[in-house]
Amino acid sequence: MIEAVDSYYRHSNANVHRGVYGLAQEATDLFEGARERIAAFAGGETDTTIFTRNATEAINLVAYAWGRSAVGPDDAVLITHMEHHSNIVPWQILCQERGARLRYLSVTEDGRLSLDELDAALSDGRVKLVAVAHVSNVLGTINPVAEIVARARAAGAATLVDGSQAVPQMPVDVGAIDADFYVWTGHKALGPTGIGVLHGRRALLESMPPFLGGGDMIASVGFESSTWNDLPWKFEAGTSPIAEAVGLGAAIDYLSAIGMDAVRAHERELTAYALDRLEEVEGVRAFGPVDPDGRGGVVSLELAGIHPHDLAEICDREHVCIRAGHHCAQPLMREMGVPATARASFHVYNTHDDVDRLIAALQTAREVFAL
Amino acid sequence: MDALYRDYILDHYKNPRNFGELDPHDREWLDHNPLCGDELGVHLVVDEDGTISDLRFHGQGCAISQASASIASEELIGRKIDEIGELSADWLIDLLGIEISPTRRKCALLSLKVMRGAATGDASWPE
Ligand SMILES: Cc1ncc(COP(=O)(O)O)c(C=O)c1O
């Protein structure tokens, strides 16, 4: 990934879709080639795969360009208690602006969503959009998104799936899930920061107005008004994240070479091992589904008598980096009845040895706190 | 012996002094640590001559923020309310007697921030 970005800047650096000189064509080919591979990697189509700055911007794009006309007073947007702030706040803003209601699905004791509750929430026909995480960044829960999308569609609601935590760690086929919008973010898929992806349904993308105006997104510009470029460029105003797309292309090539089935098997195995070993540490409570088949490679935990911040500090001294805090999911923390959690997350570079070190660091923390 | 989690820090964390609520109270303030969302509030009772005669912190947080509130509370009762705005970050950090890394500075200073808010209405972080 780093070499691809480096090589782009050294040998192929030019703006895309502009110059007639060879270098500009080379940059355009690299950029559009990356889009083609990135789209295919996630099971999407090339011209409905839009580059954004991150998942957050992709969600905001939908909230503004689609939501402002599709959601009105007395309508509702349905999200869940396990969403990341990036899949909450844009909908709060939209609902406030449009006089619509924001509804939440709750999370069960073992960190899952209830399809019965979904059906009940959809039953009055007011829900215009269901927005849900594919995999929770706090609980690790893998949500049954294809089923959720099907039920939402049957009730006349559009769907957005936040796949930020799913695309990096398991095989994802956005075509099979068939949501109207599916978003993810490059930096979690071993890619660079500054690039996110939106896969959208063609008919919706075509009928939606642009999100941001400027260069590249137009077909022609008059004094009073302009006409819009074709998909996907209609939603890509201004100079694109070119190096970032090239870098993300290299990252997904790397993941594809390992094989997403193998990545998923590794994540599952390590998570199962971690959940198992955590039981050895007195006072530990792990959140989320107990069955490793139903969860991805993050484990949020609480250790009685030690605040997550202190836990993270002591783990850091033992060279184990875990995140402590609300994980951009304050509503979920409130539901779980904790101010914060500590969270270990795994990817392809982690091993059993890393889990063993985590367990040892947690034991050290108990000693420091004289527990 | 741990350089950060010293015995007296852990003692104040596990048995915080002047912890809870005061009803009635004359002043109050509530704030958050933006890093983690931890919440700390304070209730003050102020005499006619401007002396803080009683005070309670409440909320939840890490060992550093809770110990900081507990240790500060013992120093703050009996002070004049209009002195509080003058108290600096260094005053509190010296009082804690431990090395505070930049990442934990806000944990340590939240109690003073909340206290200054209650006394002066100034919601900025102590310098
Ligand atoms: C589930 C989920 N959604 C959305 C995001 C937001 O990603 P970004 O900040 O790159 O937009 C994250 C990343 O933290 C996430 O874990």
User: pLDDT, tens digit, for every residue of B15-47?
Assistant: 999 999 999 999 999 998 877 668 899 999 999
> Quick check: A139 and A316 in contact, CB under 8 A?
no
For the residues A94-123, what does the mean pLDDT come to?
97
Nearest residue (by CA) to ligand 1, atom 13, is: A164
Residue A165 identity: Q
The whole-chain average pLDDT of chain B stands at 94
- Assign A308 a pLDDT band (cuts: 50, 70, 90): very high
Ligand 1 center from residue A75 Cα (angstroms) = 26
For residues A36 and A246, what is the distance between their CA atoms, to the nearest angstrom? 11
Render the burial of B11-50: b for 16+ CB within 10 Å, e for the rest: ebbeebbbeeebeebebbbebbbebbbbbbbbbbbbeeee
> Quick check: A362 and A304 in contact, CB under 8 A?
no
pLDDT 10s digits, A205-225: 999 999 999 988 999 999 999
**Of A330 and A183, which is predicted with more confidence?**
A183
- Pair A218, A293 in one domain: no
* C-beta of A143 in contact with ligand 1 (< 6 A): no
**Is there a contact between B60 and A368 if contact means CB atoms under 8 Å apart?**
no
pLDDT attached to residue A20: 83
pLDDT attached to residue A115: 98
pLDDT attached to residue A88: 98
- Pair A201, A273 in one domain: no
- Pair A344, A205 in one domain: no
- Pair A100, A183 in one domain: yes
Render the burial of A84-100: b for 16+ CB within 10 Å, e for the rest: bebbbbbbeebbeebeb
**Is there a contact between B64 and A309 if contact means CB atoms under 8 Å apart?**
yes
**Is there a contact between A339 and B2 if contact means CB atoms under 8 Å apart?**
no
For the residues A153-162, what does the mean pLDDT come to?
98
**Is there a contact between A324 and B36 if contact means CB atoms under 8 Å apart?**
yes
Ligand 1 center from residue A175 Cα (angstroms) = 21
Q: Which two tokens stand for residue A300?
A: 């949020």
For the residues B92-120, what does the mean pLDDT come to?
94
Nearest residue (by CA) to ligand 1, atom 10, is: A54
* C-beta of A84 in contact with ligand 1 (< 6 A): yes
Q: Is the pLDDT of residue B1 over 70?
A: no
Q: What is the number of other CB atoms lying within 10 angstroms of the CB of residue A38?
A: 27
* 3-class SS letters over A162-173: ECCCCCCCCCCC
- Pair A162, A293 in one domain: no
| Residues of the domain holding A290 | 260-368
- Pair A360, A308 in one domain: yes
Angle, nearest 10°, between helix axes B105-120 and B63-76? 40
DSSP 8-state class, residue A315:
H
pLDDT attached to residue A286: 96
* C-beta of A345 in contact with ligand 1 (< 6 A): no
Nearest CA to B118 out of B39, B30, B19 is that of B30
% of chain A exceeding 70 in pLDDT:
100
Strands in A284-286's sheet, in edge-to-edge order, are A284-286, A298-303, A341-345, A323-325
Within 8 A by CB and 6+ apart from A237, the residues are: A210, A211, A212, A213, A214, A215, A216, A217
User: The CATH number of the domain where A197 resides is what?
Assistant: 3.40.640.10
For residues A174 and A201, what is the distance between their CA atoms, to the nearest angstrom? 10
pLDDT attached to residue B33: 84
- Which residues in chain B touch residue A339, judged by CB atoms under 8 angstroms apart? 36-39, 60-61
- Pair A285, A249 in one domain: no
Ligand 1 center from residue A344 Cα (angstroms) = 16
- Pair A193, A208 in one domain: yes
* C-beta of A56 in contact with ligand 1 (< 6 A): yes
Q: Could you tell me whether strands A323-325 and A284-286 are parallel, antiparallel, or unpaired per DSSP bridges?
A: unpaired
* Residue A54 φ then ψ, to 5°: -170, 180
Ligand 1 center from residue A9 Cα (angstroms) = 27
Instruction: Determine the distance from the C-alpha atom of residue B120 to the mean position of all C-alpha atoms in its chain, rounded to a whole number.
Output: 15
Residue A328: active-site member = yes
Task: Indicate which residue of A95, A315, A321, A328 is catalytic.
Answer: A328
Q: Is the pLDDT of residue A265 over 70?
A: yes
Ligand 1 center from residue B66 Cα (angstroms) = 30
The whole-chain average pLDDT of chain A stands at 96
What count of CB pairs under 8 Å joins A to B? 48
For the residues A310-331, what does the mean pLDDT come to?
94
Q: What is the number of other CB atoms lying within 10 angstroms of the CB of residue A73?
A: 8
DSSP 8-state class, residue A321:
-
- Pair A201, A325 in one domain: no
Q: Is the pLDDT of residue A190 over 90?
A: yes
For the residues A108-113, what does the mean pLDDT come to?
95
For the residues B98-102, what does the mean pLDDT come to?
92
Most B-contacting residue of A85, A302, A307, A338 (CB-CB within 10 A), to test interface: A307
pLDDT attached to residue A155: 98
Strands in A49-52's sheet, in edge-to-edge order, are A49-52, A196-200, A181-185, A158-162, A127-133, A76-80, A101-105
- Pair A297, A209 in one domain: no
Within 8 A by CB and 6+ apart from A38, the residues are: A49, A197, A245, A248, A249, A252
How many domains, chain A? 2
- Pair A264, A252 in one domain: no
Which among A257, A279, A303 is the end of a domain? A257
Q: Closest ligand 1 atom, CA of A136?
A: 1
Q: Is the pLDDT of residue B5 over 90?
A: yes
pLDDT attached to residue B3: 86
For residues A141 and B5, what is the distance between their CA atoms, to the nearest angstrom? 35
Cα separations in angstroms, A101 against A75, A98, A335: 6, 9, 20
- Geometric angle at alpha carbon A77, from A91 and A195, rounded to 5°: 40
For residues A105 and A26, what is the distance between their CA atoms, to the nearest angstrom? 48
Choose among A308, A325, A370: nearest Cβ to B10. Answer: A370
- Pair A309, A223 in one domain: no
pLDDT attached to residue A351: 98
Q: What is the number of other CB atoms lying within 10 angstroms of the CB of residue B127?
A: 7
pLDDT attached to residue A17: 87
Q: Token pair 């599916």 is at which residue?
A: A182
- Assign A163 a pLDDT band (cuts: 50, 70, 90): very high
Which among A220, A238, A257 is the end of a domain? A257
For the residues A253-257, what does the mean pLDDT come to?
98
- Which residues in chain B touch residue A333, judged by CB atoms under 8 angstroms apart? 37
Min Cα distance B31 → chain A (Å) is 14
For the residues B86-102, what does the mean pLDDT come to?
94
- Assign A83 a pLDDT band (cuts: 50, 70, 90): very high
Q: Token pair 């999100």 is at which residue?
A: A211
Q: Is the pLDDT of residue A324 over 90?
A: yes
Which among A205, A233, A257 is the end of a domain? A257
- Assign A203 a pLDDT band (cuts: 50, 70, 90): very high
Within 8 A by CB and 6+ apart from A242, the residues are: A8, A15, A16, A27, A30, A31
Residues of chain A contacting B, Cβ within 8 Å: 305-310, 313-314, 324-326, 330, 333, 339-340, 368-370
Strand, helix or coil for residue A327 = coil
User: The CATH number of the domain where A337 resides is what?
Assistant: 3.90.1150.10
* C-beta of A137 in contact with ligand 1 (< 6 A): yes
> Quick check: A316 and A309 in contact, CB under 8 A?
no
For residues A53 and A40, what is the distance between their CA atoms, to the nearest angstrom? 20
- Which residues in chain A touch residue B61, judged by CB atoms under 8 angstroms apart? 307, 309, 339
**Of A103 and B2, which is predicted with more confidence?**
A103
- Assign A319 a pLDDT band (cuts: 50, 70, 90): very high
Choose among A310, A339, A340: nearest Cβ to B63. Answer: A310
For residues A145 and A135, what is the distance between their CA atoms, to the nearest angstrom? 9
Nearest CA to A205 out of A181, A188, A170, A187 is that of A181
For the residues A40-57, what does the mean pLDDT come to?
98
**ipTM computed for the complex:** 0.90
* C-beta of A165 in contact with ligand 1 (< 6 A): yes
Go through the domains of chain B in sequence order and give each one's CATH number.
2-120 (3.90.1010.10)
